[in-house]
Amino acid sequence: MPKRMIVKSGYGTLLVWLLSTLDVLSGLPLNAQVVVKGQARLESITITRQSWTALNGVEHHDSSMMLRFWFPDEPKVPAKHYLAKMSVFASVKDDTGLVLSTSDRLKKITSLDQEVNCDFSSAGAMEGPHLEIVLDAPSKQAKFIKAISGIVDVSPAKIEVVELSNIIELSGKSLDHPKLKHLGIRCQSVAVENGLTTVVLHMPKKSARLYDWHLMSGNDELQLFGSGQSPANDGVVLDKAFVGDKPKQYMLRLQILEPIATKRFTLELKEIKLP
């Protein structure tokens, strides 16, 4: 059954006083969905509406709707990691005619632009990969969403390990390995200071296929001190600082997701009742 929760709270500082109201509606789609082979299923809908008033009296409002999809008949493969990419996603409207898939929302749906990591659930009847997207919230007068239509490619993936020794020699160079060519990763710099070794990597764009990376000393993973990510004019910069100051002895270890197979799912839902 749908759940409704209303929370009112106040937060104060020396400069600003905010009064906020949070209204969350969530639940399973109320109309039954027939699971058809090759079609994704809408697992849940969560609608959030929030408003707050600043000290200057200006009111602010924010509302959104999160759709969580489940891909039920993924090939039975021994994988806990999945990649997904949406190649088609049609305009979404509620029954009042309000467009929920605005251009601003579409720009923020990463899976429309590139592969993303799917959330994997191993509990309950909906075991398998899930994907979430966020759109504008429907009108308060709306009873249902007219239709959700699209195409999603889902790939179970395995982790491939790439190890590159002597990170000092990697500084300023592209990482040369057959499994890394499609990622375009470059080691921008390696710096040692105050007992820490900081490695900065550059990529043309953030890729879900780079699952994780760290420094190794022999068979031991160095303790991570801190990490960050920032946009660059020509891509994205990833940095990590590790406890240790002997970079010539360290190896860069990258975990890369390699698709095992790819299955195409369709989103074909109509008149989805709202919680």
3-state secondary structure the chain: CCEEEEEEEEEECCCCEEEEEEEEEEECCCCCCCCCCCECEEEEEEEEEEEEECCCCCEEEEEEEEEEEECCCCCCCCCCEEEEEEEEECCCEECCCCECCCHHHHHCCHHHCCCEECEEECCCCCCEEEEEEEECCCCCCCCEEEEEEEEEEEEEEEEEEEEEECHHHHCCEECCCHHHCCCCCEEEEEEEECCEEEEEEEECCCCCCEEEEEEEECCEECCEEEEEEEEECCEEEEEEEEECCCHHHCEEEEEEEEECCCEEEEEEEEEEECC
**Structural domain contains residue 183:** yes
pLDDT digits (tens, 9 = 90+) for 30-46: 444 545 567 888 988 99
Same domain, 10 and 65: yes
**Structural domain contains residue 30:** yes
Same domain, 30 and 128: yes
pLDDT digits (tens, 9 = 90+) for 144-195: 999 999 999 999 999 999 999 989 999 999 999 999 988 999 999 999 999 9
Same domain, 127 and 207: no
* pLDDT score, position 233: 81
For the segment 221-240, the average pLDDT, to the nearest whole number, is: 93
**Structural domain contains residue 245:** yes
Same domain, 148 and 268: yes
Same domain, 137 and 190: no
**Structural domain contains residue 256:** no
Same domain, 188 and 142: no
Q: What percent of the chain has pLDDT over 70?
A: 83
Same domain, 9 and 126: yes
Same domain, 176 and 86: no
**Structural domain contains residue 255:** no
Same domain, 144 and 11: yes
Q: What percent of the chain has pLDDT over 90?
A: 63
Same domain, 59 and 126: yes
Same domain, 30 and 106: yes
* pLDDT score, position 112: 93
Domain that holds residue 203: 167-249
Same domain, 244 and 116: no
Q: Is the pLDDT of residue 105 over 50?
A: yes
- pLDDT-derived band at 18, boundaries 50, 70, 90: very low
Count structural domains, the chain. 2
